Amino acid sequence: MELDVIVIGWGKGGKTLAGTLARAGQRVAIVEQSTSMYGGTCINIGCVPTKTLIHDAEQHRGNRADAHYFYKSVERRDELTAKMRQKNFSMLNDLDSVLVLTGRASFTGPHSIKVEGGEEVLELSAPRIIINTGALPSVPPISGAEIGGRIHDSTTLQHAELPAKLLVVGGGYVGLEFASMFAQFGAEVTVLDRGARPLKREDEDVAAEVASALSDAGVSILDSASVTSMRQDAEGVTVTYQRDGMERSIEADAALLALGRTPATQDLNLEKTNVRLGERGEIKVDKYLATSSEGIYALGDVIGGPQFTYTSLDDQRILKDQFLGEGARNLEDRVAVPTTMFTTPPLARVGLSEDQGRAQGLDIKVAVKKVADIAAMPRPKIVRDPRGIIKFVVDRNSDQILGAALMHVDAQEVINLVALAMRSGITASTLRDSIFTHPSSTEALNEVLAGFD
C-alpha cells in the first residue's frame, strides 16, 4: 500500500502531525499496537489518569486507607480516559485520508514496514516514516525487580488495589508524585532514594519545602538508600537496601519502581534501516528531528531528553514546518520550557536554579520567599494550603529572568506566565509591576520580585 506518510505510535506529536498532514491532502497511515492506547501515553496511562487520581486524593478526608474511595476514583478516571481515547480515535479515523491500523509495526526496509495484528500482516511503504513510539518504565538490574504481582511500575500500580503500605523505589518526579498521591489516599508510604537528599537538582531550600509537604502527608523518605534486592510473595514485598554501611530490609503490601523511562525502540527492527541509537536506546536525531536514515524522523519520548506531552507537541510543529512550511523551525528554538511535579502543592520550575547560576559564574540576584510569608497572596490561605516557596534567579545587569521555582497552589499555571516572560525578554521589574487579578496566586509575583538579595 503506497502512502505519503506513516506514523508509528499514537502519541501527542504523532497523532497531531497525522491529522495535520491528512487535512493538507496527504495519504497517512497511523499504527498503534493496542486499542487501549489510542491517543498515546498521556491520556491513557500518563498525565490525565494520574492527575485525575491526584485530584481525588487531595479531596480525600482522613488518614486511613479507604479502598472504596480509591475504587470510585479509579472508576471516574477510567470513564474519563475512555471518552478521551474514543475522541482521539475518531479525530483520525473519521478523516478519509487517514488509515488507522492496530498492530505491531516493524521495519522491513528504510521506507517500508509491516504491521502484524493477530494472524494478519499488512505491508506498507512511504517516503516518510515518523517514529513516535514513546517510552516505557525502566526496570533496574536489581535482584527480584520484576514487574508483576506486588511489584509495580507507574502503569500497573494505578490498576492495583490500594495498598495499606507502599514502598517507592526512586525519589524523582514520578516517585514523589505517586508517594504524595497514595499517602493522601491513606497509604503508609516510604520512599527509598539513593541520593543524599530528594530532588538533588533543585536548590536545597526548594527541595526542603517539597520534603516538608510530603512529610505533612505522611510520606517517609529514606535518603542514601541503595536497593540491592526485592522479594515478593502472595502477601507482600520485601525490599533490601544499603544505608549508612548497613544492610536493612523493609516490608510492604506493594512496591513501585520509579526509576525513569526507557525509549521504546526494541521491537522496531531498526536493523533494516540506517537509524542510529544512543546509549539508552533513544533514537538519535538532528535539530530538525531527522534520523540518520533518509526519510525517517522521530519525535516525542523516543528521542530521549525531556519526556513531556507538550514538548512532543512542539516536536510536531518542527516536522509540520519541515513538511508543509519553510523548514526553519528546529530544536534550538526551544527555550524556557517549564515543568511541573504534581505533588501537593505542586512544584513548577523553568530555567536555571540558583545553584546552577552560581556554578556557571553568572552575576545573579535572587528573590525568594515562603508562601506563608507573602502578604499579597491570599489565595493559598483561602484554599487552606499556604505551604510552599517562590524563588527567582535574575541576571543582575540585564534584569532578565534566568529561572524560577514555584511551589504553591496553582504553581502549574503561574509557571507558564513566567516561561512566557522569559521567552519574550520581559524583565523581572516589568513582571513585578504588572497588574494581576485578585485574589490569585499570580499576584505573588508583585511582592516576591520586589525583594532581591
Tens digits of residue pLDDT in 129-175? 999 999 999 999 999 999 999 999 999 999 999 999 999 999 999 99
Residue 118 has pLDDT above 90, yes or no: no
Q: In this structure, which CATH number among 3.40.50.2300, 3.40.50.300, 2.160.10.10, 3.50.50.60 belongs to the domain 151-257?
A: 3.50.50.60
The domains of the chain are located at: 5-135+261-333, 151-257, 339-448
Cis bond before residue 140 (omega within 30° of 0): no
Mean pLDDT of 6-12: 95
5-135+261-333 against 151-257: fold identical: yes
Confidence band of 10 (pLDDT split at 50, 70, 90): very high
Percent of all residues in the chain with a pLDDT value above 70, rounded to a whole number = 100
pTM score of the predicted model = 0.94
Task: Assign domain 5-135+261-333 to a CATH class.
Answer: alpha beta
39 and 89 Cβ atoms separated by less than 8 Å? yes
Neighbours of 234 (CB within 10 A): 6
Average pLDDT, whole number, for the chain? Answer: 96
Q: How confident is the model at residue 324 (pLDDT cuts 50, 70, 90)?
A: very high
Residue 347 has pLDDT above 80, yes or no: yes
Region of 245 (left: φ > 0; alpha: ψ -120 to 50; beta: rest) is left
Summarised one tens digit per residue, pLDDT across range 189-244 is: 999 999 999 899 999 999 999 999 999 999 999 999 999 999 999 999 999 999 99
CA distance 270 to 107: 6
**Model pLDDT, residue 1:** 66
Q: Where do we find the cell 498521591?
A: 181
Name the pLDDT band for 453 (thresholds 50, 70, 90): confident
Residue 63 — very low, low, confident or very high, per pLDDT cuts 50/70/90?
A: confident
Using CA atoms, how far residue 178 sits from 184, 262, 263, 325, in Å, is 10, 19, 21, 41
CB atoms within 10 A of CB 367: 20
Contacts of 395 (CB under 8 A, 6+ apart): 362, 363, 364, 365, 401, 402
Cβ 57 vs Cβ 179: under 8 Å: no
User: Could you give the C-alpha distances from 69 to 52, 57, 61, 186, 364, in angstroms and in order?
Assistant: 13, 9, 10, 10, 48
Say how far apart CA 6 and CA 114 lie, in whole Å: 11
- Write down the CATH superfamily of domain 339-448: FAD/NAD-linked reductase, C-terminal dimerisation domain (3.30.390.30)
Sign of the dihedral through C-alpha 233, 236, 240, 241: positive
401-413 mean pLDDT: 98
Nearest to 287 by CA among 257, 315, 258: 315
Q: Which residues pair with 167 in a beta bridge?
A: 190, 255
In angstroms, the CA 253 to CA 256 distance is 11
159 as an active site residue: the answer is no
CB 415 within 8 A of CB 404: yes
- DSSP string covering 213-282, please? HHHHHT-EEE-S-EEEEEEE-SS-EEEEEEETTEEEEEEESEEEE-S-EEE--TTS-GGGS---B-TTSP
How are the residues of the chain apportioned to helix, strand and coil, as percentages rounded to the nearest 5? Answer: 35, 25, 40
- In angstroms, the CA 402 to CA 419 distance is 10
pLDDT at 305: 85
